[in-house]
Structure 1
Amino acid sequence: MQVLVLNSGSSSLKFQLFTMPEETIVCSGVVERIGFTDARFKFNSELLNVETETKVLTHKAALKLVSKHLLNKKEGVLKSAEDIKIVGHRVVHGGMYFNDTVQITADVKEKIKSLSSLAPLHNPANLEGIMVAETIFPSAKQVAVFDTAFLQSIPEKAYKYAIPNEFLTKHNIRMYGFHGTSHKYVSEQANSFLNKKESKIITIHLGNGCSMTAVKNGKSVDHSMGFSPLEGLIMGTRSGTIDPSVIFHLKDSLGYSMKQINALLNKESGMLGLTGYSDLRDIELKASEGNAECKLALQMNAYRIKKYIGSYATILNGLDAIVFTAGIGENSSLIRKLVCDDLDFLDITLDEAKNNLRSKNLRAINSDASKVKILVVPTNEELEIAKQSVRLFVN
């Protein structure tokens, strides 16, 4: 069975084509900088490797570009669009509507649209990816896999805010959390590595968006993001947790509109606001050259992560492993070192030689003396989406 997985971001489209249930990757790639004349397109298969800049102004154009290469007569991997049996879509926010994977219907699309205000950078792009895929692959079953689903097991004492009850009961205002597909995948990989029936794990997803989850016996029990993806850790352009009074001060004393504040906290803050750069590779380079703002931003980033590790170790009443994943978590030995320094009290000690080694495989980077495992687990949200999509129809 051919399963195409689409991960539509605000200005990007990641894709992987799998043969299932073998979990074989047929091809993969990404379209970045959608909306620009110099968009970047990558397509990798056994017969064809493309990396180029081209004009891609819409998600529809991006998916058409992908399908053109999938169906290339000489070097394509499909004979026709009908070969795709399932298209699995990553959808960031499922609200209280969805606690599992679902086949997409008109009602599902309407609910995804209604939640766009809660994830304005993601849900609209996710929905557009769905609508475009329906036109290009009309015979395929369209499936939505929600980032919030894995986090539905978090108990009420953790997800409820200390505001009047009616805001939860009437307006569904609560902590939802995000990156659930990634946290689910890497926590399962970590559990398999630990080979324990019962486990206490903290998963740390560090990319442009960052989040952490406390996972007990395979179930999430707490999470760093909240009602929206804005809360929690310091991210590429998002502020993370901030005193709500700052918003009132920006509006009432400094004259900012609510639209400006929303843009400030979501798109102009985080590492970008602290350093002028949103890409951690640039920040690490500038820090190594002596840039004081970049040095401080890295320390702040790691400090925030440490606070959550301490908090979650308490909630879990112990700890078997911490897991680093996603682009920064998998590739930045510096961030991992800054996070793990001075955590001896929790029996977390890093082996710097292991930490500095590069690998695409799951690996332990803790010292032999460390009672808590420090794992680097490459995430594979696309494979998890493919598995959940197939499971929907097989079971």
Structure 2
Amino acid sequence: MPDAGPCLVFNAGSSSIKAAVFDQHLVQGLTAEASGIGQAGALRIGDHVRQLGLPDHAAALDHLMAGLAQAGLPLSGLGVVAHRVVHGGDALTAPAAITPQARAAIADCAALAPLHNPPALAVIDHIALAAPDLPQTASFDTAFHATIPEVARRYALPDLPQTAAIKRYGFHGISYAAMVANWTRATGTPLPRRLLALHLGNGCSICAIRDGRSVATTMGYSPLEGLTMGTRSGNIDPNAVLRLVDDMGLEATHDLLNRRAGLLGLSGISSDMRRLGQSDDPRARFAIDHFCYWAARHAGSMLVAMGGFDAIAFTGGIGENDKTVRQRIVASLAFAGEKPVQVIHAEEERQIAADAWQVMEPAA
């Protein structure tokens, strides 16, 4: 590929937009973030932080792009803008250029990832309006799990038009793809044939990776399924959900399960594992116990999916930084034999940039 401007990577969430710049050799440059969107916001460009009102994503993007331009990175100087998109559904199972068809497919999946796909679309549309000739690409958290076999993907539901899209898609795929791609560089060892990979942060999942491919994962139709998370409940009996809807209504139940459950709901204190670890409150200790127990229990199901395991890897904010949580989960799996344990720094933005340059290659 001939020399081009850098790649600007966006990772848009419900209350923040993160950005990072990479050259064609995947060397990271400037990073930036608009956080606290809809609240008392803050804008960070490099090491410079200032507080300001960010009432919505449009305002946050305006401030973010102005800050990047002032730092010497106007849109006109970029080669490509790349986006993290949580849900690609069945139509988008590999990194892709943003075309009208791709944008429509992302929008079609908005109901499946309501906290993530709409903000990503807002950023995509903002860039398209401001710089219509600037190429854009997307990487999808669901794409890495397209290799999961049907027996692991399908829920036990009949074939009906209403159930066609109800399946286990899996998430955190960009993180797992980066782990596989960067394994040897990060660890100095060959990629294990059967890798038990745990992405533990505010959102949590486990992936069974065999021969570099996903064969099972704990998140399913949505990022709500699986482990105890920061504010998400993880697994819960569907009839319990129906009961909550009857008692509380649909919107309140959605809010409860996604934003008020998990570590926050169990402790009544915080969704932040660091804060809970520093607390003497019995509820905080129970929340941590619950988190570790269910992470290990779900990990056991991943061992079955792979027929055993050859190594364990942790990534994500909790996975990388909380040694006690790692030790407790590993200790619970000791019955399966002692295995090498690696801590891998999450490099999702770098992976998205790598995907973008690969998508751009045919056009070079």
Please state how far the C-alpha of 1:122 moved relative to its aligned partner. 0.8
Please state how far the C-alpha of 1:198 moved relative to its aligned partner. 5.8
Counterpart position of 1:298? 288
Counterpart position of 2:355? 388
User: 1:39 aligned to 2:32?
Assistant: no
Kept in 2: contact 1:85–1:139 (CA 8 A) = no
Letter in 2 for 1:51: V
Please state how far the C-alpha of 1:7 moved relative to its aligned partner. 0.4
Kept in 2: contact 1:206–1:326 (CA 8 A) = yes
Which residue, out of 113, 116, 120, partners 1:119? Answer: 113
Aligned counterparts, 1:101-112, within 5 A: 101-112=95-106
Q: Which moved more, 1:315-324 or 1:61-70?
A: 61-70
CA distance in 1, matches of 2:183, 2:263: 29
Letter in 2 for 1:336: R
**Unaligned runs of at least 5 residues, structure 2:** none
Aligned counterparts, 1:362-377, within 5 A: 372-377=339-344
SS in structure 1 of the partner of residue 41 of structure 2: strand
Aligned counterparts, 1:250-329, within 5 A: 250-252=244-246, 255-276=247-268, 277-286=270-279, 290-329=280-319
Q: Report the count of equivalent residues.
A: 356
Counterpart position of 2:179? 186
Q: 4+ residue runs of structure 1 moved beyond 6 angstroms? A: none
Please state how far the C-alpha of 1:271 moved relative to its aligned partner. 0.8
Cα pair distance change 1:198/1:247, threshold 3 Å: closer
Letter in 1 for 2:14: S
Counterpart position of 1:70? 68
SS in structure 2 of the partner of residue 172 of structure 1: coil
Kept in 2: contact 1:94–1:148 (CA 8 A) = yes
Please state how far the C-alpha of 1:173 moved relative to its aligned partner. 1.3
Kept in 2: contact 1:187–1:201 (CA 8 A) = no
CA distance in 2, matches of 1:62, 1:135: 16
Kept in 2: contact 1:64–1:136 (CA 8 A) = no
Which residue, out of 29, 33, 41, partners 1:30? Answer: 33
Deviations 1:254-295 (A, max 9, x none): x22122211111111111111121111211111xxx210110
Larger relative CO (CA 8 A, sep 6+): 1 or 2?
2
Letter in 1 for 2:181: E
CA distance in 2, matches of 1:197, 1:43: 36
Please state how far the C-alpha of 1:248 moved relative to its aligned partner. 2.4
Counterpart position of 1:337? 327
Cα pair distance change 1:266/1:198, threshold 3 Å: closer
Letter in 2 for 1:156: E
Letter in 1 for 2:352: I
Counterpart position of 2:21? 17
TM-score normalised according to structure 2 size: 0.93
Counterpart position of 2:146? 152
Which residue, out of 110, 127, 137, partners 1:143? Answer: 137
Kept in 2: contact 1:14–1:31 (CA 8 A) = yes
SS in structure 2 of the partner of residue 341 of structure 1: helix
Kept in 1: contact 2:184–2:190 (CA 8 A) = yes
Counterpart position of 1:361? none
SS in structure 2 of the partner of residue 71 of structure 1: helix
Letter in 1 for 2:294: R
TM-score normalised according to structure 1 size: 0.86
CA distance in 2, matches of 1:85, 1:77: 14
Deviations 1:208-260 (A, max 9, x none): 111111000100000000001110011111100011111122234xx221222
Deviations 1:298-321 (A, max 9, x none): 011011111122221222122111
Deviations 1:98-151 (A, max 9, x none): 111111122222221221111111111111111112233333101111110010
CA distance in 1, matches of 2:299, 2:325: 14
SS in structure 2 of the partner of residue 55 of structure 1: coil
Letter in 1 for 2:168: M
Counterpart position of 2:243? 249
CA distance in 2, matches of 1:150, 1:240: 21
SS in structure 2 of the partner of residue 394 of structure 1: helix
Which residue, out of 9, 12, 22, partners 1:5? Answer: 9
CA distance in 2, matches of 1:209, 1:129: 22
Kept in 1: contact 2:292–2:328 (CA 8 A) = yes
SS in structure 2 of the partner of residue 56 of structure 1: coil
Identity of aligned residues (%): 35
SS in structure 2 of the partner of residue 309 of structure 1: helix
CA distance in 1, matches of 2:264, 2:20: 30
Please state how far the C-alpha of 1:336 moved relative to its aligned partner. 1.0
Alignment RMSD:
1.7
SS in structure 1 of the partner of residue 52 of structure 2: strand
SS in structure 1 of the partner of residue 251 of structure 2: helix
Kept in 1: contact 2:153–2:168 (CA 8 A) = yes
